[in-house]
């Protein structure tokens, strides 16, 4: 039987009931972590029988949390499922770390490491209340994270490109390497012309994520398999923007290799075109959203063509 599908005697999958069950298992895991930690916080050690009972309870709590995670069908959204999986993994890993800390610490008093490990399990278990409740909310969360990373990258590169600024100005001068006298640590005027078009692509990346995020917030739905799959497609391709922006940004630092810049710019442009195409053909882009899709498609094309022109004679 496929995950989430009703088998004989099993009721159909319902998200609210899933969240109730996951919340309960995370709460039990938190309580078992507390019991385990307290039992080994001071002498005397628990008896062999009590140790066996404690370990069984911890194991059952962890298995229960993992079992409930597996109830969540992929059809509810791979973006949502990954976030629930990551949260469940943190609970499991936190419990393993707590157990290791207890096994490796002398039982004289509650150690700092044990306190930190116990708190880590509590924190992991409390995450369940902050998890997105459906795939639309999960994709909003994923896109927001991507946007934050891209914003930081754009701001960092804008700061480095301020006229006359040395991009390596925060590196202490080294007499042997001679940083300050090395022309490879500065941008030429030709470099700056090329990089202004690259900045255009990076800004288009930020604008693209902002617009897609707003469209998913306004129009995104997790009410059918088709809509859920479209949201996952958007999240998957949007996840490629940040690494592509980072690769382009790294290739923009001197000494500038025009071929590397052009290749990385082309890769970013390709990812952005895919994002715009997927958004345009999905339910998050009704006719009212078509204007920005067209505008950003033109902006990506324009800046990529400028990059090609600036690098034409340098390859």
CATH of the domain at 251: 1.20.1410.10
Are residues 157 and 279 located together in one domain of the fold? yes
Residue 241 lies in a domain: yes
Residue 226 lies in a domain: yes
Are residues 145 and 208 located together in one domain of the fold? yes
| pLDDT for 171 | 52
Are residues 105 and 153 located together in one domain of the fold? no
Are residues 237 and 284 located together in one domain of the fold? yes
> Which conformational region is residue 256 in: left (phi greater than 0), alpha (psi within -120 to 50 degrees), or beta?
beta
Residue 227 lies in a domain: yes
| pLDDT for 181 | 47
Are residues 54 and 91 located together in one domain of the fold? yes
Mean pLDDT by 10 residues, the chain (315 residues): 47 92 98 95 89 96 97 97 98 96 78 92 97 98 98 94 61 49 71 94 98 98 97 98 97 93 98 98 96 98 96 74
List Cβ neighbours of 310 (8 Å cut-off, separation of 6 or more): 190, 193, 194, 197, 258
> What predicted TM-score, i.e. pTM, was given to this entire model?
0.87
Are residues 272 and 222 located together in one domain of the fold? yes
Are residues 111 and 160 located together in one domain of the fold? no
Residue 3 lies in a domain: no
Q: How far is CA 267 from CA 99, 202, 274, 278, 307, in A?
A: 46, 12, 11, 17, 12
Residue 59 lies in a domain: yes
130 three-class SS: helix
Residue 171 lies in a domain: no
Query: Angle at Cα 72 formed by Cα 211 and Cα 90, nearest 5°?
Result: 80
| pLDDT for 165 | 57
Are residues 67 and 152 located together in one domain of the fold? no
Are residues 106 and 233 located together in one domain of the fold? no
Which domain CATH number covers 35?
1.20.1420.10
Residue 23 lies in a domain: yes
Are residues 109 and 204 located together in one domain of the fold? no
| pLDDT for 140 | 98
Are residues 61 and 99 located together in one domain of the fold? yes
- Count the domains in the chain: 2
Residue 188 lies in a domain: yes
- Tokens representing 172? 């202490």
Structural domain that includes position 97: 15-129
Are residues 102 and 147 located together in one domain of the fold? no
């Amino acid at each position: 039987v496929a995950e989430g599908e009703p088998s004989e005697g099993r009721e159909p999958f319902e998200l609210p009931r899933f969240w109730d069950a996951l919340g309960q298992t995370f709460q039990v895991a938190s309580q078992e972590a507390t019991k385990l930690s307290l039992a080994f916080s001071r002498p005397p050690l628990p008896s062999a029988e009590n140790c066996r009972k404690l370990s069984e309870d911890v194991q059952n709590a962890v298995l229960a949390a993992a079992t409930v995670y597996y109830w969540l069908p992929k059809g509810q959204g791979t973006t949502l499922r990954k976030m629930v999986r990551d949260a469940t993994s943190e609970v499991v890993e936190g419990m393993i770390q707590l157990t290791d800390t207890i096994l490796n610490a002398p039982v004289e008093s509650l150690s700092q490491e044990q306190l930190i490990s116990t708190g880590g399990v509590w924190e992991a278990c409390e995450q369940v209340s902050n998890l997105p409740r459906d795939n639309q909310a999960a994709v909003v969360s994923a896109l927001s994270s991507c946007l934050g990373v891209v914003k930081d990258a754009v701001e960092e590169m804008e700061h480095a490109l301020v006229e006359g600024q040395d991009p390596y100005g925060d590196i202490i001068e080294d007499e042997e390497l001679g940083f300050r006298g090395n022309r490879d640590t500065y941008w030429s005027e030709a470099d700056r012309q090329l990089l202004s078009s690259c900045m255009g692509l990076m800004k288009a990346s930020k604008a693209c994520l902002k617009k897609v995020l707003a469209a998913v917030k306004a129009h995104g739905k997790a009410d059918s398999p088709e809509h859920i799959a479209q949201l996952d497609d958007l999240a998957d391709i949007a996840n490629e923007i940040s690494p592509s922006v980072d690769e382009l940004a790294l290739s923009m630092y001197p000494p500038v290799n025009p071929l590397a810049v052009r290749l990385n710019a082309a890769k970013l442009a390709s990812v952005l075109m895919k994002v715009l195409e997927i958004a345009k053909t999905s339910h998050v882009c009704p006719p009212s959203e078509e204007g920005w899709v067209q505008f950003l498609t033109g902006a990506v094309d324009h800046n990529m063509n400028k990059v090609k022109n600036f690098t034409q004679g340098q390859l």
